[in-house]
Amino acid sequence: MNNAGALRHATVEDGKDEDFEHLWQVNALAPLRLTRAALPHLKRSGSGRIVNVVSLSGKRVRGDNAGYAMSKFAALALTHATRRAGWQDGVRVTALCPAWVATDMASDAGVPAADMIQPDDLCALVATVLALPNNASVAELLVNCRFEDSL
């Protein structure tokens, strides 16, 4: 499971290159590197599984944090490219796209932790995805904690 995540505020107009680069390194390139290392072994198994924790920010842009969304869109692209690369060898890849999750990273979100997705609930969803046979693959799993009008 690729659960890399960094959150920095980087807007199109005022974002610092260093913030964009940090987000890219952690949110996109780190999962790519782990995937590259694991994929040959997962292919040999015939039933390998990868879950990339992408975020709903990989599906839509809310607010002005372009840097975070850009890095998460890249993580979603990695997910689908890896699905294609591993499909014939039984590797199934899922993008887990949650909204706010009650973690330290979301502590400044302005959403009460009790109203956020609980980590244990995401773990239960991941366990279900991992247990599915090769002929029942979930490409993307969007998980909301509140109504999303753009999805």
Q: Active-site positions? A: 68
Q: Residue 82 and residue 4: Cα distance in Å, rounded?
A: 17
55 contacts: CB under 8 Å, gap ≥ 6 = 5, 68, 72, 75, 97, 98
CB 143 within 8 A of CB 125: yes
